[in-house]
Amino acid sequence: MTRIDAEPLHSLRERTSEKWRTHPDDVLPLTVAEMDFPLAPPISAALHAAVERSDTGYVYTSLAVATAFAGFARDRWGWEVDPNRVTSTADVSLGIVEVLRQVTRPGDGVIITPPVYPPFFELAPEASARIVEVPLLGGIDDGWRLDLDGIDAAFAAGARAMVLCNPHNPVGLCHAADDLRTLADIAQRHGATIVSDEIHNALLREGAAYSPFLSVSDAAREVGVAVTSASKAFNVAGLKCALVITASDRGDAVRAAFPVEVQWRTGLFGEIASIAAFSAGGAWLDGVRETLDANAALLGELLAQKLPGVRYRIPDATYLAWLDLSALGWGDDPAAHALEHAKVALANGPEFGAEQGRGHARLNFGTSPEIIREAIDRLAALAAGSALVE
């Protein structure tokens, strides 16, 4: 395995994505969930070839990318995906909304489990449903898990669906297979649907166990719809391709009811990049995962040395660190304080859940060790009372 190194800061600042254009050049951006590595060579080659043949039209079918993903899922996790039970669309959030539109009616409750990816708070309202919060149990010290009793009670009170995050952003939790089986049984008992966002599934820490929701039981296949993408693991979010996956007649009926435009919104470049990623990007991905594992450990060492009051748990998956900065006294939104005074941009903790995110921030360590060190040095200097900007 060849380790993949992040690009140098001067090259990264030439990028035009949100991560690199939101803040001025004196800020280190560790916010948006995109990585700082060079594109996987098979993806780059496939995109260049498409440009050379002027292949820039509409997507024809989901079958090619679905078949590529099925092979990837089988090789990586032993998950058997039927390519004929996959519909592509533009991105995971759009896929979740379209599923919710099919399985809920206006005003129905949709369960989410904060702290969780901030757009989850908007997806149910976009589908004319309402949010029901059932926060995760546990915390940084002992880890997190689903509040299965709370979810059961929320379904009993009338919620009709749940958006599961597996692996869970921002805490990096891979939900235990037994918990997922229990969740499926609960949903089946209440006639509810589990929409499982599995976008971070390929970014596993060495030794971590990820269980695709649709793989854990017959009940999960009956009540579940999975939505995933190559976008996080292979850094191709801007190309727009995600997959909505089902494994039962009930799930198939959800996809069959989608408006035709759901698939047509898939980006052809996204499909081309995803096929290359799933078919030929494995070696690159493993090299990136090796770097991320080293970065996660480095972050822990630096925090212990320079910011011992900050609490952090190495995630099972993702390249995202959920940090409890409460001990520093930087207020409910420490990310705002860090940006203003240390020129380090972190993701705003309360946006992941007003209560659960208070005093927290999310840090993206999908970058170089040099940038991580510089960021922690700046935060440590601020904590010591020598802010860069007063």
pLDDT at 379: 98
pLDDT at 386: 52
The residue among 357, 332, 362 whose CA lies nearest residue 346 is 362
Neighbours of 156 (CB within 10 A): 11
Residue 113 reports pLDDT greater than 70 = yes
Residue 390 reports pLDDT greater than 70 = no
**Which residue matches tokens 């070839």?**
49
| CATH number assigned to the domain comprising residue 376 | 3.90.1150.10
The average confidence (pLDDT) of the chain is 97
pLDDT at 1: 63
Q: Which two tokens stand for residue 56?
A: 């820039």
% of the chain exceeding 70 in pLDDT: 98
If asked whether residues 151 and 226 sit together in one domain, one would say yes
**Would you place residue 389 in the very low, low, confident or very high pLDDT band (cuts 50, 70, 90)?**
very low
Number of domains forming the structure of the chain: 2
If asked whether residues 33 and 70 sit together in one domain, one would say no
pLDDT at 291: 98
Q: Is residue 309 part of a domain?
A: yes
pLDDT at 2: 85
Rounded mean pLDDT of 286-296?
98
Buried b (16+ CB within 10 A) or exposed e, 106-133: eebbbbbbbbbbbebbebbeebebebbb
Asked which of 280, 309, 331 is the last residue of a domain, the reply is: 280
If asked whether residues 216 and 300 sit together in one domain, one would say no
Quote the domain boundaries for residue 259: 43-280
pTM for the model: 0.96
Q: What is the pLDDT of residues 50-95, one digit of tens each?
A: 999 999 999 999 999 999 999 999 999 999 999 999 999 999 999 9
Asked which of 264, 280, 296 is the last residue of a domain, the reply is: 280
Neighbours of 225 (CB within 10 A): 28
pLDDT at 226: 99
% of the chain exceeding 90 in pLDDT: 98
Q: Are 106 and 124 in contact (CB under 8 A)?
A: no
If asked whether residues 27 and 101 sit together in one domain, one would say no
Rounded mean pLDDT of 365-385?
97
DSSP state letter for 357: T
Tell me how far CA of residue 96 lies from CA of 169, 306, 373, in angstroms: 15, 40, 37
Q: Is residue 4 part of a domain?
A: no
| CATH number assigned to the domain comprising residue 236 | 3.40.640.10
Instruction: For 42-62, give the DSSP string.
Output: HHHHHHHHHHHTT--S----S
Rounded mean pLDDT of 353-370?
98
If asked whether residues 157 and 133 sit together in one domain, one would say yes
Residue 134 reports pLDDT greater than 50 = yes
